[in-house]
Amino acid sequence: MMSLSPGLNQFMVLLFRRRWLIGVGLMTLCALFLRTYQLTDLPSGLHGDEGVAGLEGLRILREGYIGPYSWPAHGQPTGPLYLFALAEWALGPTILAVRLVPALAGTLTIPLLFCLLRKDLGPGVALLSAGFLTVMEWHLHFSRIGFPVGTWPCFVLSAAAAITKAVERPNWVWWALAGAATGLGIYIYNAYIVVSISVFVFISGYCLFSRTITGRRKWFCMSVFCLAFILANIPMIRFAGDKNSGYFGHFKKVSVLDSDSWRRIDSPIKKAYFLLSRYASFWGRLTWRPEVDFVDAAGVTPMVSPVIILLAAVGMLKSIRRHRPPVVYLGIILVLIVPVAAVASMDGQYRRTLALVPFLAMLAALGAAEVSALVRTQRKAVRWIITGGLVVIISLMAGRSLQNYFIKFAHAPVQKWVFCQELTEACSYMTKFPPGFHFLFYSNRWSVDYETRQFLAPKISAEDRSVEFGRGGHDTSIDPAKGYPVFVFMGRYKLNLDLVRNNYPGGLTASGTLTSDQAYLAYIPISSQCLKK
């Protein structure tokens, strides 16, 4: 029998000795499948903010460096947009290119979480954490939409790895890397400031109470961390410091402290109660009473299973009472502080707190481990009953999460509305025409210059004709110099089809289907008389 080569033999021995390698590999493949299956069709359509990400990626391909901040979509850091540019360079300006970046970043988050936890918490807890994250609808949703925020958890885990390594080994190099990694997060997402605050709370607490780093070494490491943090932030600091940049205007637009609800509260005690109630409400919206966010369609179904929340609570309480590795305490601080971003803003509670998702999965796995430890102290029959019940509950939770996303969310009219399925179908229709046609666009919701159209159908000749964006809604005049006319009607303007038919009889009608309704109606006059009018 042919023997294996020594190198291959050693690899096989290592592989089967560490069976968790197979487990995390299969988990990563599962995550990749869930995050790329029908990626261009679910969510349905292409959101305007996804169109912005695609357009900015194309601008980077044309111009190169575009600075640390981008103003379309109300302003966002440009870090992930360079990855979007790379995807569009490889795949072209397509829905797949825009959504592939968050999908791959979301997939990479799974083995990253495992690697971060394996040494300190063991392969069992690490693998269960990765499993919870793989099927958690919160993470799954933002890994499948072309928003730059989808890359956030992956980056936070990378920074957490450097931070925990720094506090375990008081070497100035690791502290510099940790500071730089923490500072670079400002180029990922606007709400990253809450993560920075959480990290500083963790670092400060660790330096105060840890016995592994004392005296002058403590202050030296903290100084290195802060210096690296500031140096990494210099481009954004310079941009924000420009009074004409309007950087802080973005935060003012979404801040609850600038809302009418806040101004009407005249008592400090009532203001504190208002903020605390919003904090508690945040956790309720995640699980028991979800609310739809009409910017990203999150909240159609619960973003997190109550099982995860209950296990995470157990894991957190037990960890506080016991001595745990630094990564656990960093995770607890993040889970407790990051929701402040949702409390302080008027919307976007799900995306502004996305950074805590991997650590919520970690705490839930620790909670499951605590339950398992409790089971081991019981009699054999009781152990089998409790263990079997826990396995069934976790399996049902995973199945329910996938059913919520791929069935309930997929068929929810609100997600099709949020992700502009009607406009996306209309864009697909308009791109089928050769040059020389001119589209007269009637829509009460979108302008023809909306980013979805600019990204998906950039070369068409078109103009707005609606009351909301154009020339009165009932204008059916034609300018032959602009090209052969094609009327496109959406929303309430579909009723205008009969008017155009009467004015230009003998034309062809087309429609885009959307479930049992029509996404759009189009009319192409074919009579030569239309050009004389």
Interhelix angle 48-63/81-91, rounded to 10 degrees, is: 80
CB burial class (10 A; 0-12, 13-18, 19+) of residue 166? buried
Q: How far apart are CA 249 and CA 264, in angstroms?
A: 22
The 10s digit of each residue's pLDDT in 411-444 is 999 999 999 999 999 999 999 999 999 999 999 9
Residue 525 sits at φ, ψ, to 5 deg, of -65, 130
The 10s digit of each residue's pLDDT in 42-85 is 999 999 999 999 999 999 999 999 999 998 878 899 999 999 99
Q: For the residues of 209-231, what is the DSSP string, one character each?
A: H-SSS-HHHHHHHHHHHHHHHHH
pLDDT over 70 (residue 378): no
The tokens of 256 are what?
């609850």
The 10s digit of each residue's pLDDT in 82-119 is 999 999 999 999 999 999 999 999 999 999 999 999 98
CB atoms within 10 A of CB 205: 13
Predicted pLDDT at 514: 67
* Domain ranges, ordered by start, for the chain: 16-413, 420-532
pLDDT over 50 (residue 323): yes
Q: For the residues of 385-452, what is the DSSP string, one character each?
A: HHHHHHHHHHHHHHHHHHHIIIIIITT-HHHHHHTTHHHHHHHHHHTTSPTTEEEEEE-SS--TTSHH
Higher pLDDT, 274 or 2: 274
Higher pLDDT, 293 or 377: 293
Predicted pLDDT at 487: 95
pLDDT band (50, 70, 90) for residue 249: confident
Give 129's contacts (C-beta < 8 A, 6+ positions apart): 113, 114, 117, 121, 358, 361, 362, 364, 365
Residue 246, SS3 per DSSP: coil
pLDDT over 50 (residue 2): no
Rg (C-alpha) for the chain, rounded Å, is 27
Closest CA to 142 of 372, 529, 409, 399: 409
CB 315 within 8 A of CB 365: yes
The CA–CA distances, whole Å, from 126 to 26, 79, 121, 365 equal 14, 29, 7, 8
Least confident of 167-181, 445-459, 514-528: 514-528
The tokens of 495 are what?
């009723």
pLDDT band (50, 70, 90) for residue 224: very high
pLDDT over 90 (residue 380): no
pLDDT band (50, 70, 90) for residue 516: low
By DSSP bridging, strand 69-70 and strand 437-442 are unpaired
**Percent of the chain surpassing pLDDT 90:** 63
By DSSP bridging, strand 484-489 and strand 437-442 are parallel
Higher pLDDT, 533 or 242: 242
pLDDT over 60 (residue 1): no
Instruction: Find tokens 């005690």 and name the residue.
Output: 269
pTM of the model: 0.91
- Find the length of the chain: 533
Give 210's contacts (C-beta < 8 A, 6+ positions apart): 167
